[in-house]
Amino acid sequence: MLELDLQRASQAQGPSDEAFRRWCELALRQRAADSEMTIRLVDETEARELNHTYRHKDYATNVLSFPADVPDDMLDIPLLGDLVICSQVVAREALEQGKALEAHWAHLVIHGCLHLLGYDHIDDEEADEMEALERELLAELGYPDPYADDDVDTPIKDICKDHE
């Protein structure tokens, strides 16, 4: 069972609570244990501040993933971590990339959830595995391949800028 704390700190519109839950549950279904996580929707000012504080990058990014740092003696608690998503950046990227807004939201939420599960895209092999899983999950939702229209083979590192 998923316990999802959805915090809407941005004035920008975002998907419904039900959509967020559906996307998270799909991304987390491989996890047999209960899960607790937070998604915080923020404006560009907060996104920029967090990105600067934690990654030393001075711009608002689309999604930041903060996996829970649980001590070994407490590993049985279901806390996965937090996602911070900048609503304005998601909307701007969807428009610039010619993607349906809902599909882009789903992609970034699933991508962030996979980070909370320990997936990464630092090296090519990990990136290929994560990208394949994203494609599979998004296809189950009826969304197109988010990487299909990349004329220049945009790597996953450029979709999610968590590891620049």
Q: What is the 3-state secondary structure (H, E, C) of the chain?
A: CEEEEEEECCCCCCCCHHHHHHHHHHHCCCCCCCEEEEEEEECHHHHHHHHHHHHCCCCCCCEEEEECCCCHHHCCCCEEEEEEEEHHHHHHHHHHHCCCHHHHHHHHHHHHHHHHCCCCCCCHHHHHHHHHHHHHHHHHCCCCCCCCCCCCCCCHHHHCHHHC
Mean pLDDT of 144-159: 62
Q: What is the reported pLDDT for 106?
A: 98
pLDDT above 70 as % of the chain: 87
CATH 3.40.390.30 matches 2-163? yes
Chain segment 106-124, per-residue pLDDT in tens: 999 999 999 999 998 888 8
- Which residue has better confidence, 79 or 76? 79
pLDDT grade for 156, boundaries at 50, 70 and 90: very low
How far is the C-alpha of 158 from the C-alpha of 2, rounded, in Å?
Answer: 29
Mean pLDDT of 48-71: 94
Retrieve residue 1's tokens: 């069972």
Q: What is the reported pLDDT for 72?
A: 65
**pLDDT at residue 77 above 80?**
no
Chain segment 84-97, per-residue pLDDT in tens: 999 999 999 999 99
Retrieve residue 84's tokens: 């911070």
Mean pLDDT of 114-141: 93
Place of tokens 């941005």: 10
pLDDT grade for 157, boundaries at 50, 70 and 90: very low
Retrieve residue 47's tokens: 């996104």
pTM attached to this predicted model = 0.88
